[in-house]
A = this chain, B = another copy of it.
């Protein structure tokens, strides 16, 4: 990456800032006037021509001003953008709406966080629900309901509770059941759900079959219930916010964007990319893998439960988005979220 002169940096910064604000191409005159460069528009024009040649700016058409290219945004995010602090009111409003007393259940907290985030940023926001597989097994219980049915309850360290009614093909005496359950708890305790593989389950099954040949179905169902949520839910908020963005005024574009939002599995994949790297990740335009969001940027952050990274939360908006501010909001929200969840 070439080195830009101080002046070029200032001009690029000005162009990005102005375009983020107004959504219009910005001309040399505007830069000269509004950003008090102490230079005439002609000089700025020359510099902007240079910047265009280097690929940081582009022109929608000959007689329009310049807009930042993807490379320009990247440079802005990496080198020009100063980090910003939210105002006290903003911070307060986030923490207040996040911590309404009743919010005990983890899923509710997540669902609420996405609402808050989209409301504050006025963009679309997404959260990947905490990943079941990354939590560790804590205990399992079987609650007999009647002669033929039982309720399997599975509890993980991060507070997940999953349950499933199972049918037993033979009635079980409480002590027998107790025995099975405590054996399983002993074997499984502390393992992450990821580690409860089919082969491990088969092994346990073999062990138990020797003693009681009953729980066949219970096992199948336990196994199923573990596999089934391989893919955590994705929560969406403010999906219609993109409709207010001037860059999305073609129905066709809107259609493609919104269709994407209906495909949870795709959203999941998109968010999953941010999971590997702790902290904030900014993906601009075509840096995103999916074609439908090549005109968008995605800012993601990871959140944790008890020090373990469990999910991703992100904001999706047009490439022309207020990176500085949104990153600040995201930082604040994740902080709060981490605290609430632990």
Interface residues of A (CB under 8 A from B): 102, 104-105, 139, 141, 143, 145, 151, 153, 155, 159, 161, 163-165, 224, 228, 237-240, 243-244, 249, 251, 254-255, 258-259, 261-262
Q: Shortest CB–CB separation between residue A161 and chain B, in angstroms?
A: 6
Question: Are the CB atoms of B151 and A145 closer together than 8 Å?
Answer: no
Q: B164 touching A105 by the CB < 8 A rule?
A: yes
Number of this chain's copies in the assembly equals: 2
Give bound CA distance, A6 to B102, whole Å: 63
B243 in contact with A255 (CB, 8 Å) = yes
Q: A104–B163 Cα gap in the complex (Å)? A: 12
Contacts A141-B143, A240-B262 given; 12 further ones with Cβ under 8 A?
A139-B145, A145-B155, A151-B153, A151-B155, A151-B161, A238-B262, A239-B258, A239-B262, A240-B255, A240-B261, A243-B254, A254-B254
B155 touches A161 (CB 8 A): no
The answer, among B139, B251, B262, for a CB contact under 8 Å with A251, is B251
Interface-centre pick from A224, A237, A262 (highest chain B CB count, 10 A): A262
Question: A250: nearest residue on chain B (CB-CB)?
Answer: B251
A selection of 16 A-B contacts at a CB cut-off of 8 Å is: A102-B228, A105-B164, A145-B155, A153-B153, A153-B163, A159-B165, A161-B163, A238-B262, A239-B262, A240-B258, A240-B259, A243-B254, A243-B255, A243-B258, A249-B251, A258-B258
